[in-house]
Amino acid sequence: MNQHRPDLHSLAAAYALDALEPAEREDFAAHLSHCEDCRTEVAEFEATAARLAGAAAQDPPSALKQRTMAAVEGVRQLPPRVPETGAAPRTTRALKRKAVPLALAASVAAAVSFAGLAAWQYQESRDARQQAQQAEQQLDAVSTVLAAPDARTVHGRATNGALTTVVSSDRQNRAVFTAAGLPAPAEGRTYQLWLDRDGTMRPAGFIHSDGTVPLDGDSAGAGAVGLTLEPVGGSPQPTTTPLLLLALPA
């Protein structure tokens, strides 16, 4: 029964994510040799997957080394130990008496410095973990749609020149939006996504720069995906003319 066999053109996303069965992958690889559109889609999806994976990685804060070295330099070094030879002169005994509180003060200063550094590092680490978890969840959501057997792809160009792609899956009841060449919005503005249901635009999340994001809400029954410029924080309804209204496959 050939009606259940997916159209080769719809397998670009799954191929880029290495989610095809061996036989399907072999067929699609042969198809790529003579289909320029699919080669372009595969390259775009591979680049998007790499950007999303990279978002989960966190580099050490650039100021970490400077903060650590500053804390170390602020710790007073203890004097070297020397063997005692008989009764110590009065000056030596006085220096020893002073060295004890100085060493204690240095230890306290070091403890305070490193405690502050540890607290800062803990906060940085916690923020990095949260960002990594959010990126991982987003990557999972996007990958699930792109690898769905019934994934359907449509392309469009926004009025500001950005190239856009929407991949939707009825089985997953989700859709993802990709933008390339998206100009930076003016200060105080942001790009908001919408799902058009029978002429009613429903908020579907935001996209802040080039890349791929899952749309908020169920895409089943939506006729189109919209993109507008809105005040930062978003709007319950579009307040500007849509930059894009991309019809979804029926």
pLDDT at residue 198, rounded to an integer: 87
Q: What integer pLDDT is reported at residue 83 of this predicted model?
A: 60
Termini Cα distance of the chain: 22
Distant-in-sequence, close-in-space partners of 66: CB < 8 Å, separation ≥ 6: none
**What pLDDT, on the 0 to 100 scale, is given for residue 116?**
57
Walk along the chain (250 residues) in steps of 10 and give the mean pLDDT of each run: 57 75 84 84 72 54 65 60 56 50 51 53 60 67 82 90 90 90 93 93 92 88 94 94 90
Rounded to whole angstroms, what are the CA distances from 221 to 139, 203, 236, 237? Answer: 24, 15, 20, 19
What is the structure's pLDDT at 145? 84
Q: Taking Cα atoms as reference points, which of 209, 204, 210 lies closest to residue 224? A: 204
Kindly state the tokens that stand for 177.
Answer: 């939006």
Q: Are 147 and 9 in contact (CB under 8 A)?
A: no
Q: What are phi and psi of 8, to 5 degrees?
A: -60, -35
Q: What angle do CA 226, 230, 235 make, to 5 degrees?
A: 85
pLDDT of residue 246: 93
pLDDT at 151: 85
The dihedral formed by the CA atoms of 145, 147, 148 and 153, expressed in degrees to the nearest 10: 70
What pLDDT sits at residue 221?
84
The predicted structure's pLDDT at residue 194: 96
The residue type of 84 is: E
User: Cα-Cα-Cα-Cα dihedral of 148, 165, 187, 235, to 10°?
Assistant: -60
